[in-house]
Amino acid sequence: MKKIILFILYLSIHSVVSCQIISGIILDAKTQSKISYASVYFNATSAGTTSDNAGNFKLDISKNSLSPLTISAIGYYSVTLVNYQTTRPLTVLLTPKIYDLHEVGIKAKSLKRKRKQNMNLFREEFLGTGTNAHYCSILNEKDISFNYDSDADTLKVFAQKPIIVDNNALGYRLTYYLDKFEYYRNGRTTFFKGNLIFEDKIGADSIQKQHYNKIRKQTYLGSRMHFFRTLCGDTLKTRFIIQNGFGDEPKFKSLVTRINNEYYLSYPTNIRVDYDRDKSLIQFMKKPVYFNKTGYFDPSGINWKGAMADQRIADWLPYEYIVE
């Protein structure tokens, strides 16, 4: 009898563990051809894998089961899966990127000058202008293109290959799959979206590690990640002040709804978030906005203004980051 109970217990445990492995195949949405060596990962983390030469993949999701799953490949738009099944293999269809850049007809000298201007502007808007950005470099700028015949007010940026960034302030190498980038000159506003993978560059050098950890903590404090972790009950003491449009501090229950391990942010009006001297504004694009304890939030639900809007690629940390 004891052996039977142990056997049943083993099967139960094995079943739970098996459910933490997700598998599937990645195909071209138009041709149905298999996509080799695509990246399958949890956005803004270092956790992921790649598809084999037949487009197949397997990934352990046990440590990231609450996070959306992203699939990216060179020459394709990324796909992000939120409510995916672990009980059966997935079929993921990626759409090819097709760009019409219209660079023909522009004189070589003029094109070179315009490209330099556009690249400088792209670096500022993509990496940011803060201290960390000064220690970042884009390793494959040759893979970045601009549409010179587009609306004069709008700078559009394209990249078939992922953009590789070395962040020597925080000690990471980033692989960023850019899906869209537009800078609106009249309003001086930027919109870009994509997905990224972090690679930790910290080695055995303890002094270097201490330096990176110091800068990472400074970057984390007051960040969007810090804010959402605080709403989930971050144990680190914070100085966030949340106010509505009337200057009143809303009660926590009026802001956050928790359903099991899922959290949702919502409020009838925009809310202001202050951290020391940094002031930010959250404009709701949709309600409620999903977030979780890693600091992940649905970016399509919020339009940021102020200090948090200025936090760009150079100031982003992976969702696995833990304050030391």
Beta carbons within 8 Å of 305's beta carbon, 6+ residues apart: 280, 281, 283
Write the DSSP assignment of 231-254 as a string of letters: HTT-SS---EEEE-TTS----HHH
Distance CA 161, CA 262 (A): 34
Residue listed under structure tokens 């537009």? 182
Distance CA 69, CA 79 (A): 8
- Could you give the count of Cα atoms lying within 13 Å of 191 in the half-sphere of its Cβ? 9
- Could you give the count of Cα atoms lying within 13 Å of 7 in the half-sphere of its Cβ? 4
Residues in the chain: 324
Beta bridge partners of 176: 163, 196
**pLDDT per residue of the chain (324 residues) written in tens, 0 to 9:** 444 433 333 333 333 334 588 999 999 999 999 999 999 999 999 999 999 999 999 999 888 776 789 999 999 999 998 878 778 899 999 999 886 555 444 456 677 888 999 999 999 999 999 999 999 999 999 999 988 765 578 889 999 999 999 999 999 999 999 999 999 988 888 999 999 999 998 765 788 889 999 999 999 999 999 999 999 886 555 789 999 988 899 988 899 999 887 899 999 999 999 999 999 999 999 999 999 989 999 999 999 999 999 999 999 999 999 987
Are 199 and 173 contacting, i.e. CB atoms less than 8 angstroms apart?
yes
Per-residue DSSP letter, 311: -
Full strand arrangement of the beta sheet holding 79-81 = 48-50, 39-42, 69-72, 79-81
Find out whether the peptide bond into 288 is cis, omega within 30 degrees of 0: yes
Are 117 and 157 contacting, i.e. CB atoms less than 8 angstroms apart?
no
Are 288 and 258 contacting, i.e. CB atoms less than 8 angstroms apart?
no
Per-residue DSSP letter, 208: H
